[in-house]
Structure 1
Amino acid sequence: MYGNKKRVFISFDIDHDEGTKTMLANQAKLADSCHISIKVNTSDTTLNIYYGDIFEQKGYTAISVNEYFDSELGEPVSEHTLHGMVIKKYFGGHPESFDSAVQTDLQNYSYEEVERTRGNKKKYSIGTTAKVTANEHKFLLFALSYTDIQTLKASSDLSTMIIALHGLFKRSRESTGGEKLNIPLIGSGISGVGLPATQLLQLIILSIIDETKKKQICKVIDLVLHKSRFDEIDLETIKRQWV
């Protein structure tokens, strides 16, 4: 009887080892499916796409905002958007310090003065990009969406997004100084471009490649996807299409 127990124990041990190997293999496979790299032809630019926290990356981080570069949390800027998170986390939630950083950088940019009951009154063109820093964190804030001055609701669409990306990449060429550019899944937030996550990603990839072929943006661009998009975006499919 003791021998039988011993054999059962050994058998369990072997199964456990095999299970561990399988688990590690699955984890390795998962890791591979969570990160891909695309080498842009005719350039030395590498585009990395992976899941992670956009705010933990080194280099410049692109954040979409509305055309007023609003700074008041709640309305018109939700603290749950990346725009709101920047104000809350890196400017202490203080509109004044955020406004000061933006206005200092955009002092030579043209704008339209608009009377609003709430929010900033300087309206900039879509694609206008402000380079701002908060301690060691560096941001490129670019105007992606229009704001209804009555409801304060932000909105965008496909053609507007393309114009906004062009403005972002133009400023990136001038400002990053060879440092990495980090880009989230632009257009997936409350601005509501109206495309599924995979199509948004494809559009951003295409825009980066097209702009890079015209003139290099920077050597390394990271497209950082939030983990909540894992079930929506199959990076293996993206890899087969672009790599």
Structure 2
Amino acid sequence: MNRDVWDRIKVLLKSFGTEKNSLDAVWKLLYTAIGYISSIFTFAVLLKDLAGFDKAEILCKNYWLGLVLIGIVVSFIHNHEKISCKGTMEDADLQIEVKVSDLFSIKASSYVIPTNTFFRTVMEGDYISLESVQGAFQLRYFKNNIGELDNLIAESLMQQGIEGEDSSDIHGQTKKYPIGTVAKVDYRGKHYYFLAINDVNKFGKPENQDYTNVDTALNGVLEFINKFGHCDNLAMPLIGTGKAAIREATLENVIEDMIDRFVNSHDKIVQKLIISIRPKDYLDDKVDLKRVKKYMEYKCEFK
């Protein structure tokens, strides 16, 4: 089975099973199920009294076990944890959505791809990890033609007039660019913003891991999109929380900072911001979606 499909199944199962072991949650499921069962039976009795139609009541009595099962199933669906939440700033015409999903399963026009300050794309020796957003992007679109991707990145940096600092790593001479630098890659009608989020050593391992990298990177991508990008639907991963390995970059901290930057921006940067939470992070209980939802609703209402 495809890994993405299996992750979606596990996320769905977890959303139905959230906190079901606690007594309060069990009681909530029970009385919700009773409520649905009672509503169905009451409606059947009402049909009999008002219209003389007694078949529904007879079915409920004859197949009461099926009615109970329907009530339980509907109760689970009713009480399952939502794996996405949305907010809207009416005055700024800005929509924000936080959802548990693989980044590239999200329908958007533009995507942010975190990368290193060398803008390296080499995957040998796990220099660019297969588990990273950049690695997934490259395998999906440029698996057999990494050279084309390198050319597109270099062309974007050159068009901006950015001259990197001479440097080197195990793969030879290269250029190092400031954190927050963005290279725009247009491919198959979509836009991909390669965003430099962290320095790496000569082996491609992150270094100088400070939370200010997240702030600088967010500023960089907003400025770039405002100047060179497109005001459309933008999907972003939680920068700094994965292979960048920035210790202070907890999922909720980064989500809140991302929401803040777009909500507080004086310019309209995007029509809709979609923040992607990796299924693995959700499955490992690294984020509280209820807290995220409250924070987003508060920021959208009161800015």
State the TM-score, normalized to the length of structure 2.
0.70
Q: Which amino acid aligns with 2:108?
A: K
> Which residue of 1 is the match for residue 300 of structure 2?
none
Partner of 2:270: 218
Match of 1:90 in 2: 141
**Using the alignment, how far apart are the partners of 1:124 and 1:144 within structure 2?**
10
The question of whether the paired residues in 2 share the 8 Å contact of 1:176 and 1:218 is answered with no
Match of 1:61 in 2: 111
Unaligned runs of 5+ in 2: 1-59, 298-303
Residue 206 (structure 1) shift: 2.1
Larger radius of gyration: 2
Q: Secondary structure at the match of 2:112?
A: strand
One-letter amino acid of the counterpart of residue 114, structure 2: S
- State the alpha-carbon separation in 1 of the partners of residues 87 and 94 from structure 2: 9
Q: Is contact 1:64–1:143 with CA below 8 Å preserved after alignment?
A: yes
Counterpart among 45, 48, 52 of residue 101 in structure 2: 52
Q: Secondary structure at the match of 1:15?
A: helix
SS at match of 1:185: coil
Q: Distance in 2 between matches of 1:78 and 1:15?
A: 49
CA RMSD after TM alignment: 2.3
* Partners of 1:106 and 1:228 in 2: CA distance: 33
CA distance in 1, matches of 2:173, 2:196: 13
Q: Judging by fraction of residues, say which structure has more helix.
A: 2
Does the 8 Å contact 2:183/2:194 carry over to 1?
yes
Residue 15 to residue 42, structure 1, CA distance change in 2 (3 Å): closer
Q: 3-state SS of the aligned residue for 1:106?
A: helix
Residues 1:158 and 2:158 are matched in the alignment: no
How many angstroms does 1:96 deviate by? 1.2
Going from structure 1 to structure 2, the CA distance change for 1:91 and 1:119 (only over 3 Å counts) comes to farther
What letter is aligned with 1:218? Answer: V
Deviations 1:7-52 (A, max 9, x none): 997332221222232133134xx3xx32222334752222111112
CA distance in 2, matches of 1:201, 1:93: 34
Which of 145, 152, 155 is matched with 2:198 structurally? 145
Q: How many pairs were matched up? A: 231
- Any stretches of 5+ residues in structure 1 without a counterpart? 1-6
Distance 1:58 1:196 in 2: 25
SS in 2 for 1:46: strand
Identity in percent: 18
Decide which of 135, 155, 165 is 1:104's aligned counterpart.
155
1:37 paired to 2:86: yes
**Aligned ranges 1:1-243 → 2 under 5 Å:** 10-27=63-80, 30=81, 33-40=82-89, 43-56=92-105, 57-75=107-125, 76-107=127-158, 108-118=161-171, 121-149=174-202, 151-155=203-207, 156-194=209-247, 195-210=249-264, 212=265, 214-230=266-282, 231-243=285-297
What TM-score results when the alignment is normalised by the length of structure 1?
0.85
